[in-house]
Amino acid sequence: MKVVILAGGLGTRLSEHTKFIPKPMIKIGKFPILIHIMRHYLKYGLNEFIVAAGYKAEILKKYFPKFKKYGLNFEHNVKGKKCIINIIHTGKNTMTGGRIKRLQYLFNPDDQFMFTYGDGIANVNLKKLLQFHEKKRKIITITAVRPPARFGEIIIKNDLAISFKEKPQVNNSWINGGFFVANYSFFNFIKNDKDILEKSPLEKLCKIRELSVFQHKGFWKCMDTIRDKVVLTKILKGRDFFQ
């Protein structure tokens, strides 16, 4: 099964890094976040990747030394595991839905595929995710996660702090955490380059009850800001996150 990683956005909130490299190439520890994402899929035997590049796509191409021009497949080792990586330039200003639409020619009508964003890591059980998608028999499955609170929380009693938590997890809501599984028919819900994945395509599928939700209660973190990068670096330091 092919895995698409969306890696073409501008990453404006990390501009001190993305001025020079695309967001998925920002390093978390020794490796770009893109490699951490790939390693998680490799853990489950998923080793055929399509990187939907855009902004500064040439940096992605240079990173993988065996890259062949014009988006041809090549083999590469990611932490000792062989995989096939296909880097496709999907346009500098193409929206997330449009990037996926541009890859339609790489799939057959009976294919299923997985895709995720190039700026978030998690310990989602991909085997269970695939089983869930098969069981629900919907066009697409999205992984929902609990978001961290925007601010810290202080529990007060008698004018004293009895609990102090730095950005505790929000327990009463779910958000889009990436890590999708989709059937080929999903392409029919994307019109063109201007389609934002989270708008028209997913909203339409939700309306016709073809969007199933896999609830992930484990670790998930998106790298949107410098602070997020620092937090992820601390989490990964000195250990294999995926073990």
Strands (E), the chain: 2-7, 27-28, 31-32, 48-53, 74-78, 81-89, 112-117, 120-122, 140-145, 153-157, 160-165, 175-176, 180-183, 211-216, 220-222
Structural domains counted in the chain:
1
Residue 98 falls within a domain, yes or no? yes
Q: Residue 176 maps to which CATH number?
A: 3.90.550.10
**Structural domain range at position 11:** 2-236
Residue 243 falls within a domain, yes or no? no
**Mean pLDDT to the nearest integer, 158-167:** 60
Separation of CA 46 from chain center: 15
Residue 241 falls within a domain, yes or no? no
Mean pLDDT of the chain: 84
Residue 127 falls within a domain, yes or no? yes
Label the pairing between strands 81-89 and 175-176: unpaired
Residue 242 falls within a domain, yes or no? no
- pLDDT tens across 17-36, in order? 667 788 899 898 888 899 89
The 8-class DSSP code of residue 108 comes to -
Residue 19 falls within a domain, yes or no? yes
Does the predicted TM-score (pTM) go above 0.95? no
> How does residue 239 score in pLDDT terms, banded at 50, 70 and 90?
low
- pLDDT tens across 181-191, in order? 999 999 999 99
